[in-house]
Homo-oligomer: A and B are copies of this chain.
Amino acid sequence: MLKNRNCIIRLSRYKNALYRLNALGFVRVFSDNLADAAGVTASAVRKDFSLFGISGNKKAGYQIEELLEKLNSILGKDKVQKVIVAGCGNLASALIKYKGFEKEGIKIVAGFDIDPAKHNRSNNVPVLPLEELKGFVRNQGIKIGIIAVPEAAAGQVAETMFKNGIKGIVNFAPIRLKAPEDCVVNYVNLEHELENLVYFVNALSKTKKKI
């Protein structure tokens, strides 16, 4: 019952849109509205829902609250997700300070770095020596990690994470990681994101105008 990556990302988008509609006082929503909000077609919305056995009411759409509950359950938002970050440079610090995770039930519980100057046990989110990652992850049963260390260190750090129980990594380092079969890595690469954009901007500007 493994669904495709895009489908899950779309569910997250629908969820976002639903929160917004909910805040505006709406009670019901149509596939059409969600489609607009998520930038897809209405039938894609319905197909996604049907894939997860979510159903609405003909002519009356979906109950927002009910739908939100179902999406949240699918996306594992019934409990707070504890996450650690390896590497406490600018990016990681920004992530640690970022308030947006909290309302999504995501809690960064610790950062790890080799640089002693960055260590700080009394912080709200403590920054600990990298050697403590192992024990911390094990003791707290952390399943999700973020890698924001330099390229050269990423492989090593990932290995340590996986060895000690981490099952999923968001990797900001520009290098492919070896992951055990039952683990997942999602890559985020801002350079590539920008490169991609540059390519499509150039490609579009070369496209002849339609009549």
Contacts and interface: CB of A to CB of B under 8 A. Distances in A.
Interface of A: 1-3, 5, 8-9, 12-13, 16, 37-39, 74-77, 81, 83, 89-91, 93-95, 97-98, 100-101, 104, 106, 143-144, 167-170, 174-176, 182-184, 186, 188-205, 207
Contacts of A184: 197, 200-201, 204
23 contacts: A2-B200, A5-B196, A9-B192, A12-B192, A12-B196, A13-B192, A16-B174, A74-B199, A75-B199, A76-B199, A90-B98, A101-B194, A106-B195, A143-B201, A167-B201, A168-B200, A169-B197, A170-B193, A184-B200, A184-B204, A186-B193, A186-B197, A188-B193
B101 A12 contact: no
B168 A198 contact: yes
Tallying the copies of this chain within the complex gives 2
A170 B1 CA distance: 32
Nearest to A91: B94
A26 to B, nearest CB: 17
Nearest to A17: B176
Contacts of A190: 95, 98, 100-101, 170, 188
A184 B193 CA distance: 12
B183 A204 contact: yes
Nearest to A79: B198
